Amino acid sequence: MIPSNEFEGRRQRLFNMMDPGSALIVFSGVSKVSSADETYPFEVNRNFYYLTGIDQEDSILMLINTDGEMKEFLFILPFDERKAKWYGKRLAPTEATQISGLSNVMVNSSLPAKVDAALNSNFLEYGEIRKVYLDLDREIKIADSTSTHEYQDTLKAGYPNLAFADAYPLITTLRLRKSVREIAELRSAIRSTHLGILAIWAAMKPGAKEYEMTDLFLKTVNDDSGYQGLAFPTIMASGIHGTILHYPTPRDTIKTDDLLLMDLGARCSYYCADVTRTVPVSGHFTEMQRTVYNIVFGCNKMVAAMARPGITINDLQKATVEYLSSECLAKGFIKKKEDIINYYFHGISHFIGLDTHDPYLDPLDKAYKDIPLEPGMVISDEPGLYMDDKGIGIRIEDDLLITDGGCEVLSKDIIKDPVEIEKYLGSRH
């Protein structure tokens, strides 16, 4: 669990990035409507969570940078005895302070008055404010039909002399380098993931359903993590389905000669594991499966050996394409290197953290691929080959922590060497 003083330090670093004479407002978000009167389970805005540790909807953080001093305010839902009987207890102000380190905790209905006191030129309670930062991620709803973009429009109309800026790239830049405690949370998520994978390997057999393995993974990681759930929807793909990158419908029956590709991850305090293993259901690779597997396995090791400070994800991608195309050409799987696009068509890596694909600058921006890696960054290492003409889909994915001298494979204890896999699977009986 992340302590409150770490959240305080994060807010201070963000404050130092803000212009003097500015304010920042970040929302936790609200549940999104799925249909009629049903909503999706609430997922907190990760930028808000990163700054506060508060996992409760309809909460707001406000920072003010004037006179070189940071003023901090947290707004949360008030206690409501009737709603508590329906939906459970909300955080008390003292509890919110204990989690976040924020001492000025108010009910969220007081936000408009506090904003007006800060921004209205007739009041300027905290000194002159010339700019307001908002988290303008496209998906943040702050009410049933209101986004942060629409909230910005409202503020522009009420305070036309203010400038506005997007806080999203500032916060996601801070999120790139992980602290010791963040890495500890990632290790815990990977440990739960490991337990889930072992449970699948113990239970998988011809005749079982893919979704049975998916359900078993969920139960195992929830039992271990205290019901913290999954980093992302599990991909459980047997046989030909392993050639579909994000296979969405795990309804098929697992067969004796199948490979089972499992791309999965637990989460701990919202920090995400992202691991893929591909194993033979029978316990033994066929000759063709082993040949393809060894190419992917070799590439996975090459990427881990190459990952270090100063290298970019684009550098890793270029090396991956060269490795896979050369190996497939040598084995006669392709006639020219350019044909590798038929078997490998995704990126080798992405950042990992509070989101499985931790964002940078913009959630849809690919600029992260050209950032020189630094110690404390965590990335994926996920080469694959998807040969639908052979019915073989293989991906091996690890989570790498960039260190001063290279990287640490955080998921190294989850075996992937084909000899070790066959030995382990053979010992089940």
The residue ranges of DSSP E strands in 256-335, in sequence order, are 259-264, 267-268, 271-272, 275-280
Q: Token digits for 76?
A: 């949360």
Question: Per-residue b/e over 347-360, b at no fewer than 16 CB within 10 Å?
Answer: ebbbbbbbbbbbbb
Q: Is 323 exposed, middle or buried (0-12, 13-18, 19+ CB in 10 A)?
A: buried
Q: What per-residue confidence (pLDDT) applies to 238?
A: 98
Q: What is d(CA 268, CA 158) in angstroms, rounded to the nearest whole number? A: 41
Q: Token digits for 16?
A: 């130092």
Cα angle vertex 139, ends 133, 140, to 5°? 50
Q: What is d(CA 28, CA 363) in angstroms, rounded to the nearest whole number? A: 17
Q: What is d(CA 304, CA 300) in angstroms, rounded to the nearest whole number? A: 6
Question: Per-residue b/e over 215-228, b at no fewer than 16 CB within 10 Å?
Answer: ebbbebbbebbeeb
Beta-bridged to residue 134, according to DSSP, are 25, 166
Backbone angles phi, psi at 191, to 5 degrees: -60, -45
Beta-bridged to residue 381, according to DSSP, are 398
Count of beta carbons in the 10 Å neighbourhood of residue 209: 15
Could you read off the pLDDT tens digit of each residue along the chain, which spans 429 residues?
899 999 999 999 999 999 999 999 999 999 988 898 898 999 999 999 999 999 999 999 999 999 878 999 999 999 888 888 888 889 999 999 999 999 999 999 999 999 999 999 898 899 999 999 999 998 888 987 799 999 999 999 999 999 999 999 999 999 999 999 999 999 999 999 999 999 999 999 999 999 999 999 999 999 999 999 999 999 999 999 999 999 999 999 999 999 999 999 999 999 999 999 999 999 999 999 999 999 999 999 999 999 999 999 999 999 999 999 999 999 999 999 999 999 999 999 999 999 999 999 877 778 899 999 999 999 999 999 999 999 999 999 999 999 999 999 999 999 999 999 999 999 976
Q: What per-residue confidence (pLDDT) applies to 408?
A: 98
Q: What per-residue confidence (pLDDT) applies to 48?
A: 98
Q: What per-residue confidence (pLDDT) applies to 429?
A: 66
Cα–chain center distance at 57 = 19
Domains, the chain, ordered by start: 4-174 (3.40.350.10), 177-426 (3.90.230.10)
Q: What per-residue confidence (pLDDT) applies to 391?
A: 96
Closest among 134, 130, 131 to 168, alpha carbons compared: 134
Rounded to 10 degrees, the C-alpha dihedral 331/335/338/339 comes to -80
Closest among 97, 43, 44, 45 to 74, alpha carbons compared: 97
Residue with tokens 């739960």: 192
